[in-house]
Structure 1
Amino acid sequence: MELKPSESLKIDAFSMRVSGIEDVELDRLHALSLSVNWPHRAEDWQFLRDVGEGFVVLDEIGRVLGSAMWFRHGADFATVGMVITSPRLQTLGAAQWLMKRLFDKVTGHDLRLNATRAAKRLYLSLDFQPEKTVYQCQGIARAPTVAGSGTRGDIRALDAKDIQAVIALDAAGFGVRREALIEKLFAHSVGYGLFKGDTLSAFALCRPFGRGHVVGPVVAESDADAVAIVQPHVAGHSGSFLRVDTHMKDGEFAAFLAHSGMPIFDTVLTMSMGKRLTDFVVGGSATLKTYALASQTLG
């Protein structure tokens, strides 16, 4: 990275210097996310460092006061996440300063992020445009009391030979090919796929995250198919904490999550700068949808 630790800023009484996020101990990054009540474990931070880039700001004695990360996919698209400032700096303009520094690193990229309610005003001031609400559904998983409407095809666990099909489906649902990210997620996840003949038509990955596990990404053609591939994950984690981040508020998939012990806990807002969500269609697919995000940070 081009950032140098000697770069500095003075805000109010605080003097800050910039360092690459890869140079900071995980326990200090973990302390930062804990300070704003985010659930990320040290292991979650390490995963994000493995797949993205970022920087932190430090005070005079090395405490981490803020962070920002970006995740490139191809030559001209990136998602933005882990934009955190410690509570004592949140009213002093530190987040805007972080974002403007980030813009220098992703010049020429279309950007997408998921904004908390507290951060929405900041991103609007930076010309991000609102897109869709993300519903953070979580709780103690349980077998649903209402059965799905059924789907055609065979459900089976995914293995290494399925990775290219998963990458292609994710690109069609997300709108951007994320080969490196999906390969990394695949290696850390248990996955189930819906096969119609020999063709993979839907998939759902699930991995450790935060307080338990998170299901995502989930890509399918219909609510019924999405329910079918998430249901094995719910069964596998019955009695433990499970989370799904989805744009779906209504319909069979949303009802399935609620009946499976994962009601809506919170919301964030997907926002974009550059191309809008509707501008991204890969392979001409108009039917495949991303039913669950990989995470709010990764999209």
Structure 2
Amino acid sequence: MGRTVRVKSFELAAKDINEVDVKLLHALSIGVGWPHRPKDWNFLRRAGHGIVAVDGIGRVFGSAMWFPHGREFATIGLVITSPRTQAQGTGRWLMEQVFERCGGRNLSLNSTDAAYHLYLSLGFTKEAVVYLWQGEVASSLPAVPVLDGELHSLSAENIEEIAALDERAFGTNRQKLLALLAEGASICVLRRGGETVGYSMNREFGRGHVIGPIVANNDCDAIHLTAVHLRDLAGRFARVDTREQTGPFADLLQQSGLAMSETVTTMSKGRRFLNRKENEPWVYGLAGHALS
């Protein structure tokens, strides 16, 4: 696929996302109603790679990012096309640019409803639905089950403590990303019998805070790892992206003042991405739609 594409009467070219003023990226995401702040874009540029579609005078009409984890896997996100070019093939062109740069990696992404059929046509298959729970956290949280283990805070310098656990849950090593997330996050770990069996992060994002990743073996552990952050965020805006639509974990979110506002679809190209096993670590809360 060529490095340029013609849209109506003008030509768009692929440009490295790091060469574009972050204000233009912020305007692009605002144009489609996404909550990313300039500092969120800057973080994502540190965490991954990306391209933007620009015209001859530097206007940005689209973006796409990918986040490699080793040589065999990457997540894709921030695939945005401006309303002016959404029906002109820009999204397909951006994705083909990403494919070229990702080589033969297995890929995963979280698709909006609007982009779903495009990704199907590009060879992605549906795996699961992600539910976005968000809102102002209630001043009083619901009762939680008895805690099995001990909760402790974790410093960013000790992030290696959760790396192996996260790899079992996520399916591949993403310690580099965890280290970046940890720079601006409060981190809680659950230890049981001297072993770390779960963790969660809480960091600023968009309109308020995002709680994620959340990794745990079961609903009870996930509830405690989430509630510890919800208590700190009482009265403030928070979001949790999860594949739990119902059940005890979803009940906690709803009873804490969050509402399920929208969904996206987890899709993969190549090997299957999700592989949930009973009593094994599972990603209850995503780091973000782009990061998964």
Structure 2-normalised TM-score?
0.96
Partner residue in 2 for 1:208: 204
Give the number of aligned pairs: 291
Q: Percent identity?
A: 42
Is residue 288 of structure 2 the alignment partner of residue 290 of structure 1? no
Which of 123, 126, 150 aligns to 1:154? It is 150
User: How far apart, CA to CA, are the structure 2 residues paired with 1:174 and 1:269?
Assistant: 17
Q: What secondary structure, in the 3-state scheme, does the structure 2 residue paired with 1:287 have? A: coil
Which of 35, 39, 45 aligns to 2:41? It is 45
Report if aligned partners of 2:152, 2:189 keep a CA contact under 8 Å in 1.
yes
User: How far apart, CA to CA, are the structure 2 residues paired with 1:246 and 1:278?
Assistant: 13
User: Cα deviation per residue 1:94-151 (whole Å; 9 max; x = unaligned)?
Assistant: 1001111111011210000000000001000101000000000000012555312222
Is residue 173 of structure 2 the alignment partner of residue 177 of structure 1? yes
Which of 266, 275, 280 aligns to 1:270? It is 266
Q: Structure 1 residues 146, 79: closer, same or farther in 2, change over 3 A?
A: same
Q: Report matched runs for 1:59-208 at 5 Å.
A: 59-143=55-139, 145-160=141-156, 162-208=158-204
User: How far apart, CA to CA, are the structure 2 residues paired with 1:92 and 1:294?
Assistant: 31
Partner residue in 2 for 1:58: 54
CA-based RMSD of the aligned residues comes to 1.7
Which of 248, 254, 275 aligns to 1:252? It is 248
Q: What secondary structure, in the 3-state scheme, does the structure 2 residue paired with 1:50 have? A: helix
Which of 218, 225, 228 aligns to 1:229? It is 225
Q: Structure 1 residues 124, 144: closer, same or farther in 2, change over 3 A?
A: farther
| Structure 2 portions without partners, runs of 5+ | none
User: How far apart, CA to CA, are the structure 2 residues paired with 1:96 and 1:234?
Assistant: 39
Structure 1-normalised TM-score?
0.93
Report if aligned partners of 1:176, 1:280 keep a CA contact under 8 Å in 2.
no
User: How far apart, CA to CA, are the structure 2 residues paired with 1:211 and 1:244?
Assistant: 12
Which of 21, 25, 30 aligns to 1:25? It is 21
User: How far apart, CA to CA, are the structure 1 residues paired with 2:136 and 2:5?
Assistant: 44
Report if aligned partners of 1:143, 1:234 keep a CA contact under 8 Å in 2.
no
User: How far apart, CA to CA, are the structure 2 residues paired with 1:286 and 1:226?
Assistant: 12
Report if aligned partners of 1:194, 1:229 keep a CA contact under 8 Å in 2.
yes
Q: Give every structure 1 segment of 4 or more consecutive aligned residues whose post-TM-superposition deviation is greater than 4 Å.
A: 278-281
| Structure 1 portions without partners, runs of 5+ | 1-5
